[in-house]
Amino acid sequence: MGGPHKLIVPMSTGSLALFTMVAIGCQLGRRETVDLVTAVVTRGDVVRRVMVSGTLQPAKAVAIGSQVPGTIQSIDADFNDRVRAGQIVARLDPSIYRARFEEALARVAQLQAEHQKEQTAVDDAQARLARAEQLTAADVVPVAEVEAARLAADQGLSTLKATAADIVAAQAVAAGAKVSLNYTVIRSPIDGIVIARHVDIGQTVTTSIQAPILFTVADTRRMQLLAEVAESDVAAVRAGSKATFSIESIGSATFEGTVRDVRPQPVSPIGTAGPSTPPAGQPASGIAAEGSSTSLGKGVVTYTAVIDVDNESGTVPPGGSAIIFLPANERGDVIRVPNTALTFRPSSSAFAAVGQDPPALELPRSEAEPPRRDVRRAYLWTFAKQRFVPLAVGVGISDDYWTELVDGPLQPGDIVLTDAVPSAASRRK
């Protein structure tokens, strides 16, 4: 008959009086048996999370192209440069476009001079017509001369209108040439960061088919995280819920985002994603039970969840891969037990230390009510009168630390076992 029974108790449980009673009871029995690790049944929230992978991209990104062909004369922005709207990022050789613009301006000036000449001729023809009409009224000249003067005046007006139209057309050509000349200066249309540059000085760009892309500028103050969620988990992902994620390339820092929506079009079943939260009865770092989804491989249908990320600080880089935790199911103010309590079962040596035969247990089934898909049956263990006592319970959802207790005899404050090791004295016997 050895010394007192040893009970390892976490001091944060607040149930010191109960643990003292257990220790005293073991002393009275004067049997040295096992060292116990316990946990307390509590009341609180259980939030199940789904872990998936995703890609970060700017909410707004603009491909900057060239609307005119030419040769790159200078590059004024490079990768990771922060640019403002209207800032010059590159220049094309403007010599051809400047010559065309000057030629168009010269053509306008020429037509304006011709128009002025025609205006003078029209004024002279109208004056001749007025004198001819006066002389015809006085029977000095014949009527035929008045008709000839009127015809000359009408022809002059028509020519004047034609030259005016030619001036308008030439001005339009000059305006187009000026626009083309201005297009040789490439400017950023938005505030942002240059995330891609596709040209070098001296490179010739053409626009015969489509505008070539020279730069990509992104406004990284607002980012989007595109997460691939498995079909089995997508129904629980809600718009407005908070998501957390980390980016391996920049360390272990954790960031937050908000689920904006889940796109209704499924992704081709070839994507991959990370494991979901372990089911009840599995530790957070353990292997999920049979039938649970730990990874998404070929043939798994996924949906894209769009997560908005506020990046005013600029700490989240675009294009990176992220590991994302999405809240899937949540139970508030429920009775819960640590996951480690559900994975525990006394070992054969622990049973032998107290002189107890391991019981043959079967998960109980209720014949009065049909089984619920969201409730699983399990056993928790307590220790009383030098015996391990199994308690049948129903468990619901789990998160990284807690599992919901749906039914069973346990209440907040009750003690359950998470480990039992034969004491040193017992092992020496």
The model's pLDDT over 196-248, given as tens digits with 9 standing for 90+, comes to 999 999 999 987 777 788 999 998 889 999 998 888 788 888 888 889 999 88
Distances (CA, A) of 428 to 4, 5, 353: 16, 15, 11
**For residues 267 and 318, is the Cβ–Cβ distance under 8 A?**
no
What CA–CA distance (Å, rounded) separates 404 from 331?
Answer: 8
DSSP three-state, residue 129: helix
pLDDT computed for residue 77 by the predictor: 94
- Domains in the chain: boundaries: 7-44+333-428, 49-60+219-329, 94-183
CATH number of the structural domain 7-44+333-428: 2.40.420.20
What CA–CA distance (Å, rounded) separates 403 from 185?
Answer: 63
What value does the mean pLDDT take over residues 79-89? 93
Q: Give Rg (Cα) of the chain.
A: 43
Which homologous superfamily is 49-60+219-329 in? Efflux pump adaptor protein, beta barrel domain (2.40.30.170)
What value does the mean pLDDT take over residues 272-284? 38
What CA–CA distance (Å, rounded) separates 191 from 213?
Answer: 18
Mean pLDDT across the chain: 80
pLDDT band (50, 70, 90) for residue 49: confident
What CA–CA distance (Å, rounded) separates 412 from 330?
Answer: 19
**For residues 269 and 301, is the Cβ–Cβ distance under 8 A?**
yes
pLDDT band (50, 70, 90) for residue 428: low
pLDDT at 70 over 80: yes
pLDDT computed for residue 197 by the predictor: 93
pLDDT band (50, 70, 90) for residue 269: low
What is the model's pTM?
0.55
Give the tokens for residue 247. Answer: 């980016």
pLDDT computed for residue 9 by the predictor: 37
What CA–CA distance (Å, rounded) separates 418 from 402?
Answer: 13
The model's pLDDT over 372-399, given as tens digits with 9 standing for 90+, comes to 556 888 999 999 988 999 999 999 888 8
pLDDT band (50, 70, 90) for residue 424: low
pLDDT at 281 over 70: no
